[in-house]
Amino acid sequence: MPATRERTVIPVLVAGPGEPVFRRQPPLSLYVHIPWCVHKCPYCDFNSHALSAAGTMAAAPPTLPQEDYLAALIADLESALPLVWGRRVDSIFIGGGTPSLLSGEAVDELLAAVRSRMPLLPGAEITLEANPGTMESGKFAAFRAAGVNRLSLGIQSFNRQHLQALGRIHDELQARQAIMAAARHFDNLNLDLMYGLPGQDLEQALADIETALSFAPAHLSCYQLTIEAHTAFAASPPALPADDLCADMQDAIEARLAAAGYRHYETSAFAQPGRQCQHNLNYWHFGDYLGIGAGAHGKLTLHDRILRQMRWKRPDQYLAQVAAGTPVQYESAVAAADLPFEFMLNALRLIEGFDTTLFESRCALPLQHIQPQLLQAEREGLLARHGQRVAPTDRGRRFLNRLIERFLVDRD
């Protein structure tokens, strides 16, 4: 998600009670969802659907309806064009699921279809998520040739025992091999790691970080395993490290990555200087994104409202509904009263917070609208203001949910 370039105060107009007017649209990103995985990991609550119950694979299986799905994605994009006509796409993220199940030819056709229908920022960041268990060097080369310039590898851990506990289809050797193969084609590489894993101690968590650092990736995503509803882990929870130990892991990981020169710029994101994920930054800056694909979500700023959309979630449903010309399952405008909470839900994940002019432009509201909530969060030591910048304190970062809740609308 692209970082905002807005730094000037933007006049705020209000058409009527509760009716904001947006004078400038934020940067626009494109998210493409690929809903299939080899099998469903027990901790995953994303919209992903297993192609098989278990096992490993080296290439996309015959059961993946690649051609039909690609045609549906392109039709979905075309149906959305009236809402984004003339707007430039600043970044693309192909996520899942496991997008690396697609062939290089399919990714090439998809990106060519985007370029022919929407203006794309020259040199735009184009990310594809990949699973080490579905990769070989030839695919990396094909993805790069198609125009993908940033790869995100779902490593999670370099410890075999922990990978097995997470239900991953790759082992530690495949993880290392995938990183080395990817590095031959991508200099902008993200590694996803998790901590707080079943049976994990502090030394093991840091060992994963050290192994990751040995490859000098441009970007690291490090996040704590949590048990999400409607997952296999929720039905049968594993024994996880105590909260205090997880907090120690987080502190140690942040300190080690800082010492290695990585900037901690978002709750779980660390980057070498200048290598922040532009696509994700657009999310945190409350930018716009068009989402296509099964279950994809979108947020689009129109002149008088912010529109949220969700595509049909099940792949078979999505294919049928796109064919019928109705890819959007749910659509609603964000209530003006909810805009501050929605903005804070994103912007307060950033370590450096946000500029007050960003709030005014993205929400079409003056900062005074949330002055009582800001003052309350400051009194609680959750928030700090320095000039025009608002940022969570160390305490606010630790209790982020509590901080964000301060901006919820009391509908009573």
* Alpha-carbon span 157 to 222, nearest angstrom: 10
Q: Which residues of 309-337 are buried (b: 16+ CB within 10 A; e: fewer)?
A: bbbbbebeebbebbeeeebbbeeeebebe
In 3D space, the residue among 131, 119, 108 whose CA is nearest the CA of residue 41 turns out to be 131
Which pLDDT does position 18 carry in this prediction? 55
Strand 263-266: give its sheet, edge to edge: 263-266, 269-271, 219-224, 189-195, 150-156, 120-130, 89-96, 28-34, 288-292, 297-301, 306-311, 328-333
What integer pLDDT is reported at residue 324 of this predicted model?
Answer: 98
DSSP-based helix, strand, coil % in the chain, nearest 5: 40, 25, 40
Q: What is the pLDDT of residue 268?
A: 96
pLDDT score recorded for residue 283: 98
Say what the pLDDT of residue 14 is: 35
Which SS3 state, helix, strand or coil, does residue 27 take? coil
Preceding amide of 97 cis, omega within 30: yes
Q: Which distant-in-sequence residues (6+ apart) come within 8 Å of 262 by Cβ?
A: 220, 270, 271, 272
pLDDT at 10: 27
Sign of the CA dihedral with 98 first, then 106, 148, and 73 last:
negative
Please provide residue 84's backbone torsions phi and psi, each rounded to the nearest 5 degrees: -125, 20
What does each of the 412 residues of the chain score in pLDDT, given as a tens digit? 333 322 222 223 333 445 688 989 999 999 999 999 988 999 998 999 988 644 444 444 447 899 999 999 999 999 999 999 999 999 999 999 999 999 999 999 999 999 999 999 999 999 999 999 877 778 999 999 999 999 999 999 999 999 999 999 999 999 999 999 999 999 999 999 999 999 999 999 999 999 999 999 999 999 999 999 999 999 999 999 999 999 999 999 999 999 999 999 999 999 999 999 999 999 999 999 999 999 999 999 999 999 999 999 999 999 999 999 999 999 999 999 999 999 999 999 999 999 999 999 999 999 999 999 999 999 999 999 999 999 999 999 999 999 999 999 875 5
Q: Are 126 and 150 in contact (CB under 8 A)?
A: yes
Is the separation of the CB atoms in 76 and 325 below 8 Å? no
* Spatial CA neighbour of 269 closest among 99, 397, 131, 402: 397
pLDDT at site 412: 55
State both tokens at 65. Answer: 């309806």
Q: State both tokens at 361.
A: 């432009």
